[in-house]
Amino acid sequence: MPFIATLYFRTAILLLIVGIGVGIHMSMAGDHSPMGAHAHLNLLGWVTGALFGVYYALHPGKASGRLPMLQYAIHMIGLVIMIPALYLMLKGNASLEPFVAVGSLVVFAGVILFGWIVFTGDDRSTA
């Protein structure tokens, strides 16, 4: 399996563990105000990351080179900026909204780059 696929799978499971932890914390605290951050973490971290990994595993010809690693880095940097800022913003710190916006745009850039990888080039080594 290509390295980028393994990296995405490993990162996705770590993000799922964190996402479940956030959900448990919300439940124990009886405070579901940061539910949006919990949902974004699970969807953009666990689900989207795992799906990126599946794509790269099924299309090893698209998984090599610098572009997939750049795409991974951009996506993860965006999540690291967006998710904590969104969590804290939903807990009442409205001043973090610009960080949520920037993080969202960085995540979006990673998704656009993934789309570029999917739609361009020739993948003759498809599984």
* pLDDT tens by residue, 26-37: 999 999 999 999
CA-to-CA distance for 3 and 11, rounded, in angstroms? 12
Contact 127, 59 (CB under 8 A): yes
Check residue 52 and give its pLDDT: 98
* pLDDT tens by residue, 69-98: 999 999 999 999 999 999 999 999 999 999
pTM of the complete model: 0.92
Check residue 125 and give its pLDDT: 55
Q: Which two tokens stand for residue 43?
A: 């969807």
CA-to-CA distance for 25 and 90, rounded, in angstroms? 15
Contact 107, 82 (CB under 8 A): yes
